[in-house]
A and B are shown apart, each in its own frame.
Chain A
Amino acid sequence: NAGVTQTPKFQVLKTGQSMTLQCAQDMNHNSMYWYRQDPGMGLRLIYYSASEGTTDKGEVPNGYNVSRLNKREFSLRLESAAPSQTSVYFCASSKQRRQANTDTQYFGPGTRLTVL
């Protein structure tokens, strides 16, 4: 099993450009998450999805959109990138749909995004 995979690993954008970060998991998990990690601020949840066809906002959703394409894939889109979105982005998944607050989350290797 590859676990959670993310593409790309690195990306540099100019302000105003758009891009989609891809995430896939092969563990048949129901829940998937997008986080950003910034120095001094820890991990912050952007969006999550409890199952196919459902998505919910996290702490910092502004400037982002997500799509839960199917059970395996959960993409994060930046429509008009801003320097404040320079960060490391992590995708994660967990098994349960209900009571997921007890679940282990499995993380991908991250995408390092720089917006100039």
Chain B
Amino acid sequence: AQSVTQLDSQVPVFEEAPVELRCNYSSSVSVYLFWYVQYPNQGLQLLLKYLSGSTLVKGINGFEAEFNKSQTSFHLRKPSVHISDTAEYFCAVSDGGNNRKLIWGLGTSLAVNP
């Protein structure tokens, strides 16, 4: 069965510092990978997704993620964070079959401090 592990439940960081939010998945088949962001008191919205092709995926708001098949990871990065990036970030995976269900990580709370 697939699973997703977000390795850090909370990540505090200062404004303008770089950040990496880590995500590992377990799957024996080809996968599709997603990062979603949830701002306080809002629904989730897609940051970026990997379906195929280049392993470096660029998303909205300056975020990017790298798919590493050998390490089964899909870490999210931003070179310089802003206060407005304070949010909950969720990694999710689905398999290459016809299963429309996403498997969600538990989330990483990013707190950007001035």
Residues of A at the B interface (CB closer than 8 Å) are 4, 31, 40-45, 48, 50, 58, 90, 92, 98-110
* CB-defined A-B contacts under 8 Å, sample of 14: A41-B106, A42-B107, A45-B101, A48-B101, A58-B101, A90-B43, A100-B100, A101-B101, A102-B51, A104-B49, A106-B45, A107-B44, A108-B43, A109-B41
Q: Are B95 and A105 in contact (CB under 8 A)?
A: no
Q: Which of B43, B96, B107 contacts A4 (CB 8 A)?
A: B43
Interface SS of chain B: loop
Please measure, in the bound complex, the distance between the C-alpha atom of A95 and the C-alpha atom of B90, giving whole angstroms: 21
B44's nearest neighbour on chain A, judged by CB, is A107
Taking A43-B44, A102-B32, A109-B43 as known contacts, 15 extra A-B pairs with beta carbons closer than 8 A to each other, sorted by chain A number, are A4-B43, A42-B104, A42-B105, A42-B106, A43-B90, A92-B43, A92-B44, A98-B98, A101-B94, A102-B51, A104-B46, A105-B36, A105-B44, A107-B45, A108-B43
